[in-house]
Chain A
Amino acid sequence: MSAVFECLTQYRLRIGSCCQAIAAAKLSLLLLLGMAVPALAEGVSASAVDRRAQAPAIAVTSDGSIHAIWFDKGAVGEADKKGEKVKGTHHSHQAFADLYYARWAPDEAQFTPSVRVNPEQGSVWGFSISRAMIATDDSDRIHIVYPGNATSPHSGKAVASSFYTRSVDGGNHFEIPQQLNEDPEEDLSSLIMGGLAQAQVFTGLAVSQQGAVHAFWLDTRGMTRSMRAALYYRRSENGGAAFGKERRLQDNEQCPCCQVSAVARGESSLFVSARKITDGNIRTPTVIRSHDGGKTFSSPVETGGAPWQLEGCPLKLTAMATTASHLHTLVHNGAEDPPGLLYASAETSGSDFRSPEKIHPEAAISDSPALASIGDTLLAVWHAKVDGPRQIYYRFSLNGGESFLPVQQLDTGRASVGYPAAATTPDGRFVIAWQADEVIQVKQLEAPSAEVAAR
């Protein structure tokens, strides 16, 4: 039976590779003919208009296919699943969303119909501030981490855990998810409040080109009344087929509700950002680094900015990207006047960050950052308000973050928009996804040439 299964798997892989090759050839032909990539330059919907979609994340495979994921909260007009699930047990921290996936191929006008990734309906702990993450590698494997609901085998109570799944056939099938964190014994229900006995979520993901998969999450193990989380890590060296044991990277000094982010550079360098809580409840974004593929990590280094004192839920992720020689960060700071996104960079081989600068000085408020890079071209994208409703804005840097071109507003129509994500394509374009009302939209952007930028 296993031989049959293996044969079928290989068949599916061959078909997948063949399809990808055809798609890549079609894309090349379109580009050779000078034709615009259909539809995506204008923007297309990835999710259905009659569904409630939140928190997009995107990645691109070598054939130029765009893979989008998001939380699905149900049909428009449908009551939230929470009441049905908890049956009066009052688990306030729980959520019962689904993780949806859709793919856009370069010669298609639309995304494929979306499919649910999590096997059991309603098993995703989905909020727009604890996104699922997606990444691809050079073998076109698609890697996903997401927060999910589980039951502690020790306490029998509800917990939130980090899950990993992957597709090795271009998104046609996703493997049965594996839980990344071990099951803690301690029952922290009275501390966390709201019914979760433990939480191992707000997961970050970095994948190297060869397919080393690095997953990081915030963990309530060891949490006391000061409500600080630890940072945990698990690594796969074989493309996500199997993971090593979990490791505790940072003790309980982390803000428990600011999502971890991570980025890989080459096969050996890794950068991980979390928000550290220091004396006086100051919540400071920090970066830890590894230059040996995740075997060892440095001490946290602050990215800079005014000290943000808050006993509350900032819910702010640090976006990161690397260029030839630098690591770039973009993160919201509530202590700035007005509060907004600060951009900072550091040499990938060094430690200290340069003094941070506001990415959008004219904005009354800016938040929800994303970064992506191709060579020394860097794209920063975020949502902000200038003198009206919230809009999506972006800036390019053509020199590795030394300077940025002027702020531009993305044309998104009249919808209520926000929460952008960014990725890059093999042919040198950028892709942005965002939430418009409750529909996920995707659009391609091209960086201007140096000549155009100079004008």
Chain B
Amino acid sequence: MIIKPIISAADAAGRIKEGDSLMVGGFLNCGSPHTIILALKERGTKNLTLICNDTAVHNFKTGKITGVGHLVQAKQFRKIIASHIGTNQETQRQMNAGETEVELVPQGTLVEQVRAGGAGLGGFLTPTGVGTEVAKGKQVIVVAHKPFLLELPLKADVAIIKARKADKSGNLVFNGTARNFNPVMATAAALVIAEVEEIVETGAIDPNDIHTPSIFVNFLVKAEQLD
């Protein structure tokens, strides 16, 4: 039986190296690996490229900062690839000031790029973005008289994801809308670290109920921070 090492959040953060591309699961804080995120902030690793649905929350008025917003504030990203930054004023500020490169990608395209990366595909054709700024610099391919954009796969050096439960082999179960990008990102990174609320014995989860097969997961971290 293969057992996946359970490591500390600090250890997990230490495996993310300067200059790495980093996928982070979650959708506006829901289903983000908050414990690892805080450890990564503590460690201060810089020049990362973030691939994430959004950059969580940073509200200048209330001072509220959540999730990857902590890492944006600490200026740990050289580049951010996301579909939505509207709830993080600091991301917008850094983008407008030219301090951080931000690439906005339609959400369906972003998740499919990650899926294609994990699935070994060379890319895919999507009608989304044709005729908009998103199409700039991209190849348009006409199929059956309809134009599509050729979108390329996305992979990462490291993915940090969040699940509700794991068994010791690394099989994962997600909860509610906290699933979002997590299972897709688990397939597309060289190193996958899953933060989980509960770790049970191998065999304790019905194989029918497993969302992410254990082979995608390298390390487990016990969640201490849930939002």
A, B: real partners:
no
